[in-house]
Structure formats: structure tokens, C-alpha cells
Amino acid sequence: MLESGELSRYSRNILLSGVGRSGQEKLKAARVVVIGAGGLGSPVLLYLAAAGVGHIRFLEADTLDLTNLQRQILYRTSDVGHPKGRRALTALKDLNPSIEIDYWPDRFQTSNALKALDGIDLLLETTDSIPAKFLANDAAFFSGTPCLIGGILRFHGTIIAPGTDPSRKVAGRPCYRCLFPGAPAEDAVPTCADAGVLGAMAGMVGSAMAAEALKILLGQGTLLRGRLISFDMLASSFRAIPFAADRSCPLCGDTPTIHEIREESRSLSAGDFLDRLPSRSDLDNLG
């Protein structure tokens, strides 16, 4: 049940058709996990906390660097040199003290992936680690947890939503590996540190991830499931493209070869993820 202070705090949510008091109570009962509290994780965490998602777990093991402040809006200059997660926890509690926030000072890895998803309604992967994206996809598949995977580089961003059905809590197709069966070579393309990233891209893509997460938790609207959103700021382009299940996918295909969660062998940045996306002409033919 919503308390009187919550009715006031979330009044602009409650006014929305499709949300109302019952929808806000759904958000209060919801449990999400966010992998990473960096460029994408910052707006994701801020907007989910502000919206009243009742239990937010997040994993973050890094220390804040001065270069992070260009896009990681959870933090201040005085936070440089401190553990990101601790400072993020303080900021989120300041923003909304009425929700539960569970901070894990760990990296997302095979040893904790399924535990991190225990009792969780939705997983959001926001890091710049390609292995973490594969692990999030696989852990979501085996646990039947809805999942959103985001990435940014230069003036571009993407959100990929594997095919898990949030209303049934069962694993579905297509999955992330239908697009990327395995991690590419480590030196295939430049990283974000090499190529740069427009800070505002983190806000744009992270906010879109948060909005999609709220739709999933509320059961409202047309969900992104089984589609890829591509953002191109230089072209002022925003596109949602369906992608088909790959019958030869090693995870969700007809004859899968992956039967348990595992870590990918190479630690890559989001640069590899984005630069290996299909070309614009190929995207037109996806799905």
C-alpha cells in the first residue's frame, strides 16, 4: 500500500493513464537489478529510484575517475578517487529514502550472476564490458528474467531486449547471442577510451532504458522485446528494429551448445559491441 507521502511524491506518475495508484503499487513491489553504475547506469538508477521502484539492487566495483564525470551524472568532483558504488548509494538514498537499495561492491560474474537475479523481476545491463553483456543475456535466459542490454560509443547507442516474456517469467527467443554468438577479437575496434563518447548519449540511452524498464514493470505499452533500438545523434535517427531468432544460436537455437552460464574469454569495451552491429542496410533486413 502507498503511504500518504508516497501519494504526493509519485502524483505525476499516478495521474498517468495506465499507471494510477495500482500501477504505482506495482512499482513499489518491483525488484530490479542494475549491472553497473556508470554512464548508462547513472540515469537508469536515478530514474528508477525517482519513479518509486521499491527494491533496487546494483553491482559496481570501480573507483570514480575524473574522466567519468563527463557522462556519469550520479557523481560529483568530490567523489573522484572513491568507490563509485558507495557514492551512488548515498546519492540514491538522498533522492528517495523510502525505497530499498541493495549495493553489491562486486563485478557481475559467473560466481554471483544467478544469486544477483534471485527474486528479481528485471535485469538491466549497463556496463562497458562485453563479457558482462553475454553473461547478463545467459543468466537472464536460464533464470527466465526479462533483460535489457545497453551500450554507447561516440555519437551512437543501442538497447537490445532479448525475448524473455515478462508476463510469463520464461526464457524466450531471440537472445543477445542471436546477434552476437561470441565475443569478437580484443583488438577488432577502438574502445570508448580510444574513440570517445558524447556524454549526453549516456543520458539519452540510459533514460530510454529506464522508461522501457518502467513499461515492463507496469505491463504497459508495446514492449521492446525481440527488438534493437539504434540511436544515431549525428543523423538525428532513432530506430527500433526487430531481429530474428537464429536457429543456430548456441544458447537458444535448435541444438544449443551452452547449457549453463559461463564467462566470455575476452574483456572488451562497449566499443566492440557497437562497432560490430550490422550496417544500416543490414538493419533494414533484420527480422
Tell me which residue of 224, 215, 204, 222 sits closest to 161, measured CA to CA: 224
- Displacement of CA 131 from its chain's centroid (Å): 14
Is 228 in contact with 241 (CB distance < 8 Å)? yes
pLDDT digits (tens, 9 = 90+) for 170-202: 556 799 999 888 776 666 655 677 789 999 999
Give the tens place of pLDDT for each residue, 209-234: 999 999 999 999 988 888 899 999 99
Q: Give me the domains of the chain, ranges plus CATH numbers.
A: 4-285 (3.40.50.720)
| CB neighbourhood size of 1 (10 A) | 6
C-alpha cell, 276? 560490430
What is the DSSP code (8-state) at residue 166? T
pLDDT (tens digit, 9 = 90+) per residue, 109-162? Answer: 999 999 999 999 999 999 988 889 999 999 999 999 999 999 999 999 999 998
Does the pTM surpass 0.75? The reply is yes
* 183: its cell numbers: 565475443
Which helix (H) or strand (E) segment holds residue 32: the answer is strand 31-35
Which letter does DSSP use for residue 62 in this model? P
